[in-house]
């Protein structure tokens, strides 16, 4: 006795055929557009953003001290911020004024993105004080130097050559020691710059999500 063979209905045949996948649509979280800065009210890092998006996120997050910013996002923003900050000072006196105003306008956004970059490396914002330790020492030295220069100016006005030498090139004089302190402040600022570069170059750490 031969078993009868029943051909499945056309609907079953069509369901058994491999379905053709429709072409994937480009996600709005793609490399081209970058991810949205906020998700559920939290500032999220973008590890594949472009230069324009990084600068945009820099200014959009001017008051965002929570959340995280990726290493790529931070340094691409700095490639724009640093030259724009330095160049005006090359054209005094108007450029100096514009440079100071610009520096004041980006102070808070820079502080915010710096703290978020530390968060992305699973470090608290207080680590920023370590990065600016050299600048703090340099500011104290400059303040002392400024006060000292006042006394030098008073000595020059009063013409007391025997008690106060005004030769800046002689380190044994008071004025010369002030010049040495001025150079030392530049050195401390350089140390601070190296520390900040190391901190901001740390790779992202998933455990930094605790700062979201």
C-alpha angle 39-44-45 in degrees, rounded to nearest 5: 150
Contact 138, 132 (CB under 8 A): no
The pLDDT value recorded for residue 44 is: 87
* Percent of residues, the chain, with pLDDT higher than 70: 71
Q: What is the mean pLDDT of residues 178-196?
A: 88
- Supply the DSSP symbol for 29: T
Residue 145 has pLDDT above 60, yes or no: yes
pLDDT at 202: 94
- Nearby residues of 181 by Cβ (< 8 Å), 6 or more positions away: 141, 144, 145, 148
Q: In degrees, to the nearest 5, what angle opens at C-alpha 126 toward C-alphas 122 and 130?
A: 100
Report whether 77 contacts 117 (CB < 8 A): no
Please give the pLDDT value at position 156: 60
Helices (H), the chain: 10-16, 51-60, 71-86, 94-105, 107-120, 127-131, 133-158, 174-200
pLDDT over 60 (residue 1) = no
pLDDT at position 24 is 42
Residue 20: how many CA atoms within 13 Å on its side-chain side? 3
Predicted pLDDT of residue 191: 93
For the cut 50, the answer to whether the pLDDT of residue 182 exceeds it is yes
What lies within 8 Å, CB to CB, of 173 at 6+ separation is 164, 165, 166, 167
Mean pLDDT of 178-190: 85
Query: What's the predicted TM-score (pTM) here?
Result: 0.72
- Nearby residues of 180 by Cβ (< 8 Å), 6 or more positions away: 171
Determine the average pLDDT of the residues in 186-201. Answer: 93
Residues 6+ apart with CB under 8 A from 73: 45, 46, 47, 49, 54, 57, 113
């Amino acid at each position: 006795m031969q078993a009868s063979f029943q051909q499945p209905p056309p609907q079953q045949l069509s369901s058994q055929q491999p379905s053709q996948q429709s072409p994937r649509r480009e996600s709005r979280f793609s490399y081209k557009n970058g991810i949205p800065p906020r998700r559920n009210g939290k500032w999220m890092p973008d590890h594949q953003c472009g230069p324009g998006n990084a600068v945009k996120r820099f200014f959009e997050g001017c008051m965002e001290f929570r959340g995280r910013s990726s290493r790529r996002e931070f340094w691409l923003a700095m490639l724009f911020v640093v030259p724009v900050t330095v160049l005006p000072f090359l054209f005094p006196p108007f450029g100096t004024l514009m440079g100071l105003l610009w520096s004041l306008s980006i102070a808070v956004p820079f502080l915010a993105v710096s703290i978020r970059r530390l968060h992305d490396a699973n470090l608290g914002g207080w680590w920023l004080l370590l990065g600016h330790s050299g600048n703090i020492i340099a500011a104290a030295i400059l303040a002392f130097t400024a006060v000292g220069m006042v006394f030098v100016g008073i000595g020059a006005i009063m013409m007391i050559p025997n008690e106060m030498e005004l030769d800046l090139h002689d380190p044994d004089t008071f004025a010369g020691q002030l010049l040495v302190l001025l150079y030392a402040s530049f050195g401390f600022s350089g140390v601070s710059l190296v520390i900040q570069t190391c901190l901001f170059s740390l790779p992202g750490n998933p455990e930094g999500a605790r700062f979201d």
